[in-house]
Chain A
């Protein structure tokens, strides 16, 4: 049975006359979840509703099996949040602030200090732990923000644009850290408008557009096209002809034959056509599209 870490039914929220979320229905499983959408799509609003910082205008929302905002305090003791904007005091050392952040989540002082030290090592700030954070670079600040979000060993961490402002190397390191969270037993919801980041680390995607859910599902399903791509070493024409003769709709792109539609299982059809024509095969597999294509197509349809 699937374990849902977040669920919403008819969830809506408005900032005055501006509708941020409208009739959102969601069931989000455990793991690393991507929350994607353009700026203003409602991603940050959804995260704040999950923390109980905002109260739903309509509908209901649950996190870790608890209703929000009724049980927001219980949820917050097991949830971490990395905001998009600055949230670190410049006049405190990383070690001091992280220990304090852990205590704020209810950890005893001694355990909080130990956790702070461990997590700073984990995010690569061990050698900077006694520096005031006012002197940190953007990359170090993002890591410190991630550290404060996981220092109390939460069950779920909400990451709002975690790679914002990072150079390519910093982005890679941040995505590497986020990708490891699941192995620590920490579920994550990663909000981003950079779709390639989501593709790198998430296995379930929620797409928001204009406050509505565009798509929600496993990344493999969302990016699957139902098409089969066959890359061959020889001339692809005989293979394409054989597939067409068998009733398939195909397209040839260089050395690749794409089966767009086929009667029955397309892989069986391809196997038979390859055997009949004697074509040498280099690669065969389901053709996947990028998240960006899916998003643009979905937003266009809407």
Chain B
């Protein structure tokens, strides 16, 4: 049976410009964005990222709505949560999002042999991983920061002091939340990439990453409680929380690294070292010929 018809429309060579390696990296980045958000894919691929994004946004939108409503009926101003508390919610959602997104970025390329196509293009392994990581960083940063912007400008809009006065008085929250969002990405994404780099199935890599992150805190806590303080460094999920509280000027003595006696800068150093170590391992994994 004939499966298609070869139309002889002639062949037109490409005589325009070629963007070379930078163009290839940009293409990788754009494809990464589409993969992470499930764009140009079946509806099933869109459900998780957009669902999680909606869950992250709902509290901010709900807060703004309630505040507008209470002002309309003349009630007192309400304040549900601070930026620091909001991070505790979005941080958990970001963990799930990153777990799914890193798998989506790396696993299908490897499992379906698409790496062979990349290997035949003007790209290095670093270009490939940088393009993928940049796409994830852009989405995760937006994912974490955008709800804070809604919360911030919602508060400014509903502030009894007026929009301009609120923004002027609280402007530091804008860079603090931006920096904290970046810290969450650096703390979570490299390890998730590592699991995705070694996993043959999306769910296995994501599940292993979430499992390690979830277990790290109780294990570290138990070891610290029996007097082994260095184990405070193993509380992987709490390091970004410590650093975020540090940036936002919030005291958080209940966290394991602090119970173990570590200053916030130690948590920041742990995040950076962990990121560099895992990035190195991911690079090593991809150095094998396809």
Residues of chain A at the chain B interface (Cβ within 8 Å): 48, 51, 53-54, 73-74, 76-77, 79-81, 83, 85-93, 96, 100-101, 103-108, 111, 115, 118, 121-128, 132, 137, 139-140, 143, 148-149, 152-153, 158, 169-170, 173, 176-177, 180, 183-185
Closest residue of chain A to B20 (Cβ to Cβ) is: A106
Q: Give Cα A118–Cα B13 distance, bound, in whole angstroms.
A: 10
Chain B contacts for A139, CB-based, 8 A:
3-4
Q: Are B124 and A91 in contact (CB under 8 A)?
A: no
Q: Give Cα A176–Cα B31 distance, bound, in whole angstroms.
A: 33
Which of A88, A104, A122, A152 is the one whose CB lies under 8 Å from B123? A104
Known: A106-B23, A153-B14. A48 touches B31 (CB 8 A): no
Q: Are B122 and A77 in contact (CB under 8 A)?
A: yes
Nearest Cβ on chain B to A6's Cβ, whole angstroms: 15
Chain A contacts for B24, CB-based, 8 A:
103-106
Closest residue of chain A to B5 (Cβ to Cβ) is: A124
Q: Are A184 and B11 in contact (CB under 8 A)?
A: yes
Nearest Cβ on chain A to B282's Cβ, whole angstroms: 19
Q: Give Cα A46–Cα B255 distance, bound, in whole angstroms.
A: 57
Which of B3, B120, B289 is the one whose CB lies under 8 Å from A137? B3
Chain B contacts for A123, CB-based, 8 A:
4, 6
Closest residue of chain A to B45 (Cβ to Cβ) is: A91
Q: Give Cα A128–Cα B6 distance, bound, in whole angstroms.
A: 12
Q: Are A105 and B121 in contact (CB under 8 A)?
A: yes
Which of A100, A122, A176 is the one whose CB lies under 8 Å from B9? A122
Q: Give Cα A152–Cα B26 distance, bound, in whole angstroms.
A: 16
Known: A73-B124, A185-B13. A51 touches B112 (CB 8 A): no
B19 touches A (CB below 8 Å): yes
Nearest Cβ on chain B to A156's Cβ, whole angstroms: 11
B40 touches A (CB below 8 Å): yes
Q: Are B3 and A170 in contact (CB under 8 A)?
A: yes
Q: Are B122 and A73 in contact (CB under 8 A)?
A: yes
Q: Give Cα A148–Cα B113 distance, bound, in whole angstroms.
A: 13
Q: Are A124 and B4 in contact (CB under 8 A)?
A: yes
Q: Are A143 and B4 in contact (CB under 8 A)?
A: yes
Known: A106-B21, A111-B16. A74 touches B120 (CB 8 A): no
Chain B contacts for A124, CB-based, 8 A:
3-7
B252 touches A (CB below 8 Å): no
Which of A89, A137, A149, A183 is the one whose CB lies under 8 Å from B112? A89
Known: A106-B20, A170-B3. A83 touches B113 (CB 8 A): yes
Chain B contacts for A126, CB-based, 8 A:
4-5, 7
Closest residue of chain A to B44 (Cβ to Cβ) is: A91
Closest residue of chain A to B127 (Cβ to Cβ) is: A73
Q: Give Cα A128–Cα B4 distance, bound, in whole angstroms.
A: 8
Closest residue of chain B to A149 (Cβ to Cβ) is: B120
Q: Give Cα A74–Cα B114 distance, bound, in whole angstroms.
A: 21
Which of A81, A105, A115, A118 is the one whose CB lies under 8 Å from B122? A105
B27 touches A (CB below 8 Å): yes
Chain B window 112-133, contacts with chain A (Cβ cutoff 8 Å), 1 for yes, 0 for no? 1110111111111000000000
Identify which of B19, B20, B30, B121 gathers the most chain A CB atoms within 10 Å of its CB: B121
25 example contacts (A-B, Cβ-Cβ < 8 A) are as follows A48-B289, A51-B120, A53-B289, A76-B120, A79-B120, A83-B117, A85-B116, A87-B113, A89-B109, A90-B112, A96-B40, A106-B24, A108-B19, A111-B16, A118-B12, A121-B9, A122-B7, A122-B9, A126-B4, A132-B42, A139-B3, A143-B4, A149-B120, A153-B13, A169-B2
Identify which of B2, B23, B27, B28 gathers the most chain A CB atoms within 10 Å of its CB: B27
Closest residue of chain B to A126 (Cβ to Cβ) is: B7
Which of A80, A106, A184 is the one whose CB lies under 8 Å from B13? A184
Known: A54-B289, A96-B40, A124-B5. A103 touches B23 (CB 8 A): yes
Chain A contacts for B14, CB-based, 8 A:
107, 111, 115, 152-153
Q: Are B42 and A108 in contact (CB under 8 A)?
A: no
Q: Give Cα A258–Cα B3 distance, bound, in whole angstroms.
A: 45
Which of B13, B113, B118, B123 is the one whose CB lies under 8 Å from A86? B113
Q: Are A81 and B120 in contact (CB under 8 A)?
A: yes
B41 touches A (CB below 8 Å): yes
Identify which of B23, B45, B122 gathers the most chain A CB atoms within 10 Å of its CB: B122
Closest residue of chain A to B15 (Cβ to Cβ) is: A153
Q: Which of B233-290 contact A (CB under 8 A)?
A: 289-290
Q: Are A108 and B3 in contact (CB under 8 A)?
A: no
Q: Give Cα A77–Cα B27 distance, bound, in whole angstroms.
A: 14
Q: Are B28 and A89 in contact (CB under 8 A)?
A: no
Q: Give Cα A105–Cα B124 distance, bound, in whole angstroms.
A: 12
Q: Which of B120-170 contact A (CB under 8 A)?
A: 120-124
Chain B contacts for A180, CB-based, 8 A:
11
Given contacts A74-B122, A83-B116, A140-B3, 4 further A-B contacts (CB under 8 A): A53-B120, A101-B117, A124-B5, A173-B6
Nearest Cβ on chain B to A151's Cβ, whole angstroms: 9
Closest residue of chain B to A48 (Cβ to Cβ) is: B289
Which of B4, B114, B118, B124 is the one whose CB lies under 8 Å from A88? B114
Q: Are B13 and A108 in contact (CB under 8 A)?
A: no
